[in-house]
């Protein structure tokens, strides 16, 4: 895949994920990261607490995200809970959402 097509693909996936998250993000969401592992798009949701309603929101986000795609989309996601330091992402990853956090 050439660089222009790759960038276009990334931009489309970021846009579709952002559209899918509209109205779904609560203060419990700390960060959402989109990455790619070969041909599989990987979405990581970092939540502060394990709240059932927010887990349901993640499922709704993934459902909406999948609806924006064609049938060849390969996607997996995971939810990570905790209030520790957020990871530093590789340059290949896209942070799609990150809340402001202030630590003393």
**Quick check: 65 and 96 in contact, CB under 8 A?**
no
Residue 104 lies in a domain: no
**Quick check: 35 and 44 in contact, CB under 8 A?**
yes
The overall pTM is greater than 0.75 = yes
Residue 81 lies in a domain: yes
* Residue ranges making up the domain that contains 49: 3-98
Residue 103 lies in a domain: no
Average pLDDT, integer, range 34-54: 96
Helix (H) or strand (E) holding 79: strand 75-81
Average pLDDT, integer, range 50-59: 97
Task: Note the pLDDT of residue 73.
Answer: 86
Residue 8 lies in a domain: yes
Q: List the CATH number of the domain containing 90.
A: 3.30.70
Residue 48 lies in a domain: yes
8-38: pLDDT as tens digits: 999 999 999 999 999 999 999 999 999 999 8
Residue 70 lies in a domain: yes
Number of domains in the chain: 1
């Amino acid at each position: 895949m050439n660089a222009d097509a790759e960038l276009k693909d990334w931009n489309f996936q970021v846009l579709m994920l952002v559209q899918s998250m509209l109205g779904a993000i609560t203060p419990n969401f700390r960060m959402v990261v989109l990455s790619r592992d070969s041909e599989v798009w990987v979405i990581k949701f970092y939540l502060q607490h394990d709240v059932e309603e927010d887990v349901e929101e993640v499922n709704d986000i993934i459902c909406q995200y999948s609806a924006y795609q064609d049938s060849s989309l390969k996607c997996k996601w995971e939810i990570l809970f905790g209030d520790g330091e957020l990871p530093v992402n590789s340059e290949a990853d896209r942070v799609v959402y990150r809340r402001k956090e202030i630590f003393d």
